[in-house]
């Protein structure tokens, strides 16, 4: 199967049955300021410390991939402000994962929800400057129009600027975002220091995904306990999930954490019997075999499997050979690495070459042994996690699909012999507006 084109031209947008949407808004038109305010948006914040306590009670985890507790970031930046430091907020909507669409959808359709989240985060950390960081031109235009609707008093003197960069897998990494806002290339830098220590213009900076920030208005209006009324104890709330693959049009669903994977399949119209596995977390978290059918959609479940939800993007594998999928993803990492670190530049190329040879029936057992070793020893090297993502894909392919790997060593994969899956940007979601 050649999949060089985007997954589809239409996007299904819906919430899971019984899930009252907190982030999605249907029909999927651009929400005006008046419409947003009519539902309680831009509510007065008269006690920042009380809101921060509710964010802690909510247990809101980052939605950009790492699932780091937002309250910890907010407390750290608030403490820096109390010590006399100028603080900055950077709302990260670059969305470097091609298989994810949630951030672009929010920015294009609910700009005031995002800006309200930026406003509240800035109040919590004492910031007077904030940036909305994007690579999607439509999103930038929508945010700019929304800013023109909002009066100066609504933001309490907060200065919000839009920074637009060229799309790229590494461009959404937090230090790359800071570097770009500072006028440099959108490429990662070595850590430490991290942005909360030394960020935009050298100031402590809160870098947070736009979906994460978009949850703050709900917490302000309803409180932490209400936020926890959906989800699990360790993964509270609802989240936005991009689903691709299985020969179906792509979809954006709002679902509660803890939802069974089989319920997601039913929502998406896919039979469990047809599922070979899944590509998790966009490209970063690697592959799972049919054991994915027994999972629930929460961080603790996937972490126990050595995998992750990441940014909430899942490609469902039915007819596509997982070996060929892994080869395409590794080739993407090879093309998209920042070219700054030798271990990543050379490591992604080497793993992509072996995976491609395996797909084509040209690899040897020694090649596979090298791929296994590289998937272990290359982890943690370089300025960002790109190499870790590539290692995750390689290691999970070998661990989750050993029989398929053996078949490819024997040249016995009929699907790959006839028309192997091949994609420049596997399971890319390009169209984010409903027709």
Q: Which of 186, 193, 161 is nearest to 76 (CA)?
A: 193
What pLDDT was estimated at residue 357? 96
How many other C-beta atoms can be found within 10 angstroms of the C-beta atom of residue 51? 20
Average pLDDT in the 210-220 region? 98
User: Are the C-beta atoms of 217 and 120 separated by less than 8 Å?
Assistant: yes
Angle at 251 between CA 137 and CA 112, to 5 degrees: 45
User: Are the C-beta atoms of 117 and 215 separated by less than 8 Å?
Assistant: yes
Residues forming a β-bridge with 133:
92, 163
Domains 29-227 and 238-317 share a fold: no
User: Are the C-beta atoms of 347 and 329 separated by less than 8 Å?
Assistant: no
Locate 215 and state its tokens. 């949850």
User: Are the C-beta atoms of 212 and 60 separated by less than 8 Å?
Assistant: yes
- CA distance readout (Å), 55 to 196, 203, 215: 18, 24, 10
What pLDDT was estimated at residue 414? 86
Average pLDDT in the 265-274 region? 98
- CA distance readout (Å), 343 to 340, 382, 424: 9, 6, 22
Average pLDDT in the 123-132 region? 98
* pLDDT tens per residue, range 171-188: 999 999 999 999 999 999
Residue-range domain boundaries for the chain? 29-227, 238-317, 322-419
Q: Which residues contact 296 (CB under 8 A, 6 or more apart)?
A: 232, 258, 259, 260, 261
CA–CA dist 28, 267 (Å, integer) = 19
**DSSP run (H or E) holding 137:** helix 137-149
How many other C-beta atoms can be found within 10 angstroms of the C-beta atom of residue 288? 26
Q: Which of 89, 55, 85 is nearest to 72 (CA)?
A: 55
Average pLDDT in the 283-312 region? 96
pLDDT at 255 over 90: yes
CA–CA dist 248, 29 (Å, integer) = 23
Percent of the chain, pLDDT > 90? 90
Tokens 């507790």, residue located: 69
What pLDDT was estimated at residue 432? 56
CA–CA dist 198, 270 (Å, integer) = 47
322-419: CATH topology is: de novo design (two linked rop proteins) (1.20.1440)
Residues forming a β-bridge with 91:
132, 208
Superfamily per CATH, domain 29-227:
NADH-ubiquinone oxidoreductase 51kDa subunit (3.40.50.11540)
Q: In what order do the strands lie in the sheet with 313-317?
A: 12-15, 251-256, 238-245, 313-317, 277-280, 286-288
- Band of pLDDT at residue 134, cut at 50, 70 and 90: very high
* pLDDT tens per residue, range 347-384: 999 999 999 999 999 999 999 999 999 999 999 888 89
Q: Could you give the 3-state DSSP secondary structure of residue 69?
A: strand
- Band of pLDDT at residue 6, cut at 50, 70 and 90: very low
* pLDDT tens per residue, range 45-72: 999 999 999 999 999 999 999 999 999 9
Residues forming a β-bridge with 279:
287, 315
CA–CA dist 134, 381 (Å, integer) = 27
Q: Which residues contact 258 (CB under 8 A, 6 or more apart)?
A: 231, 232, 235, 296, 297, 298
* pLDDT tens per residue, range 18-47: 999 999 998 878 999 999 999 999 999 999
pTM of the model: 0.95
CA–CA dist 101, 234 (Å, integer) = 25
Locate 156 and state its tokens. 């309490």
- Band of pLDDT at residue 89, cut at 50, 70 and 90: very high
Residues forming a β-bridge with 31:
none
pLDDT at 435 over 60: no
Locate 150 and state its tokens. 């909002």
Crossing angle of the two packed helices 322-336 and 342-359, in degrees rounded to 10: 150
- Band of pLDDT at residue 149, cut at 50, 70 and 90: very high
- Beta strands 88-92 and 286-288: pairing type? unpaired
Locate 55 and state its tokens. 């964010």
pLDDT at 7 over 60: no
Locate 171 and state its tokens. 């461009």
Q: Which of 262, 264, 398 is nearest to 330 (CA)?
A: 398
CA–CA dist 435, 423 (Å, integer) = 25
What pLDDT was estimated at residue 353? 98
238-317: CATH topology is: Ubiquitin-like (UB roll) (3.10.20)
Crossing angle of the two packed helices 137-149 and 111-125, in degrees rounded to 10: 70
- Band of pLDDT at residue 385, cut at 50, 70 and 90: confident
């Amino acid at each position: 199967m050649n999949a060089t084109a985007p997954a589809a031209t239409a996007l299904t947008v819906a919430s899971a049955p019984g899930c009252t949407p907190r982030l999605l808004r249907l029909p999927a038109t651009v929400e005006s300021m008046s419409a947003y305010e009519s539902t309680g948006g831009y509510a007065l914040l008269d006690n920042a410390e009380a809101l921060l306590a509710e964010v802690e009670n909510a247990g809101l985890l980052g939605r950009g991939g790492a699932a780091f507790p937002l309250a910890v970031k907010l407390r750290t930046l608030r403490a820096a402000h109390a010590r006399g430091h100028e603080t900055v907020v950077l709302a990260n909507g670059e969305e470097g994962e091609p298989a994810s669409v949630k951030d672009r959808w929010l920015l294009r359709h609910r700009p005031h929800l995002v800006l309200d989240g930026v406003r509240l985060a800035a109040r919590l950390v004492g910031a007077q400057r904030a940036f909305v960081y994007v690579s999607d031109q439509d999103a930038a235009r929508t945010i700019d129009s929304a800013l023109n609707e909002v009066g100066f008093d609504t933001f309490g003197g907060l200065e919000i600027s839009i920074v637009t960069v060229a799309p790229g897998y590494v461009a959404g990494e937090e230090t790359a975002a800071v570097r770009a806002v500072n006028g440099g290339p959108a490429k990662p830098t070595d850590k430490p220091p991290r942005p909360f220590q030394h960020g935009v213009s050298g100031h402590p900076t809160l870098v947070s995904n736009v979906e994460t920030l978009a949850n703050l208005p709900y917490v302000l209006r309803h409180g932490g306990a209400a936020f926890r009324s959906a989800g699990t104890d360790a993964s509270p709330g609802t989240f936005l999930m991009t689903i691709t693959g299985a020969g179906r049009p792509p979809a954006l669903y709002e679902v509660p954490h803890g939802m069974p994977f089989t319920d997601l399949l039913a929502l998406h119209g896919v039979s469990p019997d047809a599922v070979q596995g899944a590509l998790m977390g966009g490209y970063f978290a690697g592959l799972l075999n049919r054991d994915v059918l027994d999972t629930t959609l929460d961080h603790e479940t996937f972490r126990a499997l050595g995998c992750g939800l990441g940014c909430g993007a899942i490609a469902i594998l039915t007819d596509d050979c997982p070996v060929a999928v892994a080869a395409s993803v590794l080739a993407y990492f090879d093309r998209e690495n920042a070219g700054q670190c030798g271990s990543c530049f050379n490591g992604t190329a080497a793993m992509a070459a072996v995976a491609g040879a395996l797909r084509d029936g040209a690899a040897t057992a020694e090649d596979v042994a090298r791929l296994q070793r590289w998937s272990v020893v290359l982890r943690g090297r370089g300025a960002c996690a790109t190499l870790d993502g590539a290692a995750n894909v390689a290691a999970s392919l070998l661990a989750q699909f050993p029989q398929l790997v053996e078949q490819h060593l024997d040249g016995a994969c009929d699907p790959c012999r006839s028309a192997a899956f091949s994609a420049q940007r596997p399971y890319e979601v390009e169209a984010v507006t409903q027709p």
